[in-house]
Structure 1
Amino acid sequence: MKKLDRLPTHAEFAHVTEWVFDLDNTLYPHHVNLFAQIDRNMTAYVAELLSLEPSEAKKLQKEYYRDHGTTLQGLMLHHGIDPNDFLERAHAIDYSVVPANPDLGEAIKALPGRKFIFTNGSVAHAQMTARALGILDHFDDIFDIVAAGYLPKPAGDTYDKFMSLHRVDTHHAAMFEDLPRNLLVPKALGMKTILLVPRNLEYEFAEAWETSSDADEQIDFVTEDLAGFLRRVVAAD
C-alpha cells in the first residue's frame, strides 16, 4: 500500500486544531482484538433473541453490521430491540487485555487544540478502554452511538450532529479511523483523513469490505503506528 510509505509532515497538519479519533482498532492496535469479546457477546445476543444456532446468529449479525453500520442498528430496525440493553450486554467484557500506552498518551497530550473520541460504541465502553490505555484524561469529550441517536457512522447525519454539537471547523480537523468507509464523509467535509491498519497489514479479524486499497481516495494517510504518526505531525520538520 503506497500511502503507508508516505510519512506525514508537521506542515501538513499545522492548521489542525480539532483531532477526532475513532475508538476500536484505532486508539488501540488491531492485534489487541478487544472487539472479539464484543463480537462474541453480540452473536450470543442475536442467537438468544431469535432462537438461532450460533453460526446462523453470527451470519445475521455480520449482515446487519455490513448493511447498517452496526449490528445494533440492524436489530433496532428489524426487531425493535432495546438499544441500552444491547449495549450493556455487548460491552460486558474484560478490559484488562488492553495494555497501557503512555507513549500514545503523551502524543495525544501534545496535540494542539481539542481532542474527541467519536465512536459507534457507548460512552461507558470508550471510557473503560481509554482508561485502560491511560489516555482518557487527554480528551475533551466522547461522542457515542447514543448521542448519534443510534445512527452509526458512516451516516452523514451522524457526522453533522457531531460537528454541530462541538462546533468543529472541518477545515481545521483531522479524523483517525480503522474503517475506510467511515472516512468518506470526513474527507468530503475537508478534514485530513488517516486510516489505522494492522501491523504488516495482517487483517486476520476483518471482513473483506473493511480493508483498504490504493483506490480509496478518501484516505490521505495510512499508518500502523498511531503514537509515532502523532509525534511526527507535532514535531517541527
Structure 2
Amino acid sequence: MLPALGHIRNWIFDLDNTLYPVRANLFAMIDARIGEYVRTLLNCDPAEAHRIQKGYFHAHGTTLSGLIAEHGVDPHHYLADVHDVDMSVLERDEALIAALARLPGRKLVFTNGDAPYAGRVLDRLGLSESFEAIHDIHATEYRPKPDPSAYRGLCEAYDLNPAESLFVEDMARNLKPAKAIGMTTVWIDNGSEQTADEDRSFIDYTVTDLGHWLHQILED
C-alpha cells in the first residue's frame, strides 16, 4: 500500500460515474427520465422542466429532494421511475474488480440513488460481492450529498472513523464535506462534472481511472 494511505481502514465509493466510466452514459439516461418525470408532474414544457430539474439539483443536492420539499413527491415512486433504464451499457471491469478485492479494510457504496438501483448496477459490473453495504438516499432521510448530515449519518451507521476513511467521488463538491470531517478525498476527474474553476484544496487525489489508480497505490 502507498505509505500515505497506510492508515485507511474504510474505502467509500460513490456509484454513478465513479464505479463505471462516464462514457457508459447511463446517468444521461437517468437525467432524461428525471426531466420527463418533472415535465409530467408539473405539466410544463421540456425547457421549463429542465430549468426546474437543475434548479432543484443545485439548491437541494438532488432533484428528488427538491420535489419532496416543494411538491411532496413519493420518493419510492420517483426512484423506481427514473432508474428504469437499460443496464446493458455497463460492462464488467476486471481490473477494478481485482483492485477492490485487494483493498484492505471495509468497502462501502455511498450514493444519492437508492439501494435497489445500486444493486442492479453493481451486479452488472460484477461488483455485487465487493461491498459490505450500500448507504443510499433513503438512509440519509433524503438529505443527500453534499449535505453534511449525510456524511455524519454514514459514519454513525457503520461506526466509521473519518480519519481512517477515504471517499471517492466524481462530483468534486461532494468531497468538501467529507474532507471537513477528516476523510481522505479522491476526485474522479472524468468530465461528468461541468463546473467553473473553484477551490479544490479539499481534494487530496485527482485521478482519471479508478481501477488503474487503485492498482498503483497497492503496488507502491
Question: Residues 73 and 150 of structure 1 are in contact (CA less than 8 Å); yes or no, is this contact kept in structure 2?
Answer: yes
1:11 is aligned to 3
Percent identical residues: 38
1:206 positional shift: 4.1
Question: Residues 14 and 168 of structure 2 are in contact (CA less than 8 Å); yes or no, is this contact kept in structure 1?
Answer: yes
Q: Would the alpha carbon gap of residues 190 and 206 (structure 1) be closer, same or farther in structure 2, given more than 3 Å must change?
A: closer
Unaligned runs of 5+ in 1: 1-8
What is the one-letter code of the residue matched to 1:160? R
> Are 2:184 and 1:192 aligned?
yes
> Are 2:132 and 1:140 aligned?
yes
Q: Would the alpha carbon gap of residues 66 and 207 (structure 1) be closer, same or farther in structure 2, given more than 3 Å must change?
A: farther
- Superposition pairs of residues 105-144 of structure 1, within 5 angstroms: 105-144=97-136
1:53 is aligned to 45
Which of 74, 77, 85 is matched with 1:93 structurally? Answer: 85
What is the one-letter code of the residue matched to 2:79? L
What is the one-letter code of the residue matched to 1:171? A
Question: Residues 30 and 82 of structure 2 are in contact (CA less than 8 Å); yes or no, is this contact kept in structure 1?
Answer: yes
Residues 169-203 of structure 1, C-alpha deviations (whole Å, 9 max, x = no match): 111110000111111111111111000011xxxx3
Unaligned runs of 5+ in 2: none
Aligned residues: 220
Q: 1-side partners of 2:195 and 2:201: how far apart?
A: 18
Q: 2-side partners of 1:22 and 1:66: how far apart?
A: 18
1:207 positional shift: 3.7
Q: 1-side partners of 2:130 and 2:124: how far apart?
A: 13
> Are 2:170 and 1:183 aligned?
no
1:233 is aligned to 217
SS state of the match for residue 132, structure 1? helix
Residues 52-102 of structure 1, C-alpha deviations (whole Å, 9 max, x = no match): 111110111011111110000000011111111000001000011011111
What is the one-letter code of the residue matched to 1:151? R
Q: 1-side partners of 2:24 and 2:208: how far apart?
A: 13
Comparing both chains, which one has the higher relative contact order based on Cα–Cα distances under 8 Å and sequence gaps of 6 or more?
1
Q: 2-side partners of 1:138 and 1:119: how far apart?
A: 15
1:208 is aligned to 195
Q: 1-side partners of 2:217 and 2:177: how far apart?
A: 22
What is the one-letter code of the residue matched to 1:224? T
TM-score between both structures, scaled by the size of structure 2: 0.96
Question: Residues 30 and 197 of structure 1 are in contact (CA less than 8 Å); yes or no, is this contact kept in structure 2?
Answer: no
